[in-house]
């Protein structure tokens, strides 16, 4: 039986206010973010506007600003903020013993969880 969570590495390798990408064979690339407070979030690495690489954006509080057209995307819900409309899939994340784990099914499907 396949494990429910994928271990993608130690939290310490993800800098505060930084991001890393995780390629997914046959799926959408995932961006993993760490906030200033140390929380870790994962989204499909494509802005809902023009598919800009969110991993190259600026992380602030619990959002990231797309580097192409300055859309601000919530790391919690994947929703565009302000007057912009759109949503990027969120991949569930948990931390266990200092390791980042992402939900296998959503990561491999590249679909993420629908924001409530």
Backbone Cα Rg of the chain: 13
Distance CA 36, CA 91 (A): 20
Query: Is residue 111's pLDDT more than 70?
Result: no
pLDDT in tens, 9-40: 999 999 999 999 999 887 889 999 999 999 99
Query: Is residue 49's pLDDT more than 50?
Result: yes
Q: Count Cβ atoms within 10 A of the Cβ of residue 72 and give its class: 0-12 exposed, 13-18 middle, 19 or more buried.
A: middle
> What residues pair up with 52 in beta bridges, in sequence order?
none
Could you tell me the domains of the chain?
Answer: 5-109 (2.102.10.10)
pTM for this predicted structure: 0.89
Residue labelled with tokens 């994962």: 42
C-alpha dihedral, 45 to 47 to 52 to 55, nearest 10°:
-40
Q: Which residues make Cβ contacts (< 8 Å) with residue 37, sequence separation at least 6? A: none
Per-residue pLDDT, averaged over 54-70, amounts to: 96
Which pair of structure tokens corresponds to residue 54? 């969110």
Give the three-state DSSP class for 105: helix
pLDDT confidence of residue 110:
63
Give the three-state DSSP class for 108: helix
């Amino acid at each position: 039986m396949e494990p429910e969570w994928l271990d993608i590495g130690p939290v310490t390798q993800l800098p505060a206010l930084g991001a890393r990408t995780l390629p997914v064979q046959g799926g959408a690339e995932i961006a993993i973010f760490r906030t200033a407070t140390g929380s870790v979030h994962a989204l499909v690495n494509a802005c809902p506007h023009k598919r800009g690489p969110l991993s190259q954006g600026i992380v602030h509080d619990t959002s990231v600003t797309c580097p192409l057209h300055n859309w601000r995307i919530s790391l919690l819900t994947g929703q565009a903020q302000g007057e912009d409309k759109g949503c990027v899939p969120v991949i569930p994340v948990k931390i266990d013993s200092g390791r980042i784990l992402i939900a296998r099914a959503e990561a491999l499907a590249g679909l993420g969880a629908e924001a409530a």
